[in-house]
Amino acid sequence: MSSDIPPPLGERIKGLFEPAPLMTWAMSHYIRVCVEAVFQKGEILAPILATRRLRDEAFGRFWVEFSTPAQNAPPPTTTIANEEDSPQPSKNAHGSSDLIPPLLKAANGIILDIGPGTGTQMPLLRSPSITAIYGPEPCVGLHAQLARRAAAEGLADKYYILPSGAASSELLPALRETGTGVVDEYERTGKGIFDTIICVRVLCSVPEMEKTVDELYTLLKPGGKVLVTEHVVNPWRTAKGSILARIAQGVYQLLGWSFFIGDCALDRDTESVLRKVADRDGGWEVVDLERSFSWTAMPYISGTLVKKSD
């Protein structure tokens, strides 16, 4: 599609409704989990007293289906992006998943793969230049499938599944528990642990995103890079943004998007947070971020940020 031609009206309208089937899908799992708890397990008050547990179980089931197309219909894809609005390696991207393969080709060294879910990105992380991968995944219901995927991809000997989130208060103890000594030098010098940090569809749901991103920046080695593909708040004030899509994001949030989709938020300004976190060092050495699908209720940023070397 020519960069001079905006997306057709039909594509713009479809972009407003993209989150709806995902939310309905996740909601159906939550209802099913609540019904099982009440009628099969006899936990009559579980929907009231154990909401967090039921939400985690339901989201785990949803995410397994969402990330395993063979078990279900493929998930909806984002509308076609125009060339100027997409990352350079993915000008013909039809969905957000198309942004990920060219991005992860740059991963190397010791990697932090934040929120790996069921491990759908593992086939892209088999480069011999990768020495170790640490995957903090707080949803323990996904760990079994994550372990199976690591074994299937031949990564079992260098993929470490961590039962933690991305916050340092959880992450560092989990890293110590691996027994690999990966945190030893960091504790001696404070100069970082990871050569590559991967953030794919995860910063939308981490608690206290600004604080977590700041901590991740600290854990990145000088010269290390962050590879990011994240859906963000619609840039409605720009020429390619959409005020209708921004309103739609707010409506989905009010209808319970975050509740059913693992604390995900559609309206985070993740790009600004990522850009600002390096200000204390005079900025990033390289910032190569591009926007895609800016007319939809799920616009994306994708690209690379490189920390300044010593």
Average pLDDT over residues 234-247: 94
Spatial distance between the Cα atoms of 271 and 302, rounded to a whole number of angstroms: 9
Looking at residue 6, what is its pLDDT? 62
- Supply the pLDDT for residue 71: 39
CA geometry: angle 36, 42, 43, nearest 5 deg: 80
- pLDDT tens readout for residues 119-177: 999 999 999 999 999 999 998 888 999 999 999 999 999 999 999 999 999 999 999 99
Q: Are 191 and 222 in contact (CB under 8 A)?
A: yes
DSSP string spanning 71-125? GSSPPP-PPPPPGGGS-GGGTT-SSGGGGHHHHHTT--EEEEEES-TTTTTGGG-
pLDDT tens for each residue of 249-306: 999 999 999 999 999 999 999 999 999 999 999 999 999 999 999 999 999 999 999 9
The model's pLDDT over 172-189, given as tens digits with 9 standing for 90+, comes to: 999 999 999 999 989 888
- Higher pLDDT, residue 232 or 68: 232
Confidence band, pLDDT 50/70/90 cuts, at residue 49: very high
Q: What pLDDT shows up at residue 69?
A: 57
The confidence score (pLDDT) of residue 80 equals 33
Residue spans of the domains in the chain: they are: 9-18+76-306
Nearest to 220 by CA among 245, 190, 179: 190
Residue 104 burial (C-beta neighbours within 10 Å; 0-12, 13-18, 19+): buried
Measured CA distances, 104 to 220, 223, 257 (Å)? 17, 17, 28
Class of the 9-18+76-306 domain? alpha beta
Under DSSP, the state recorded for 37 is I
- Average pLDDT of the chain is 89
Angle of helix 51-66 relative to helix 19-35, nearest 10 degrees, comes to: 130
Question: Which pLDDT score is estimated for 73?
Answer: 42
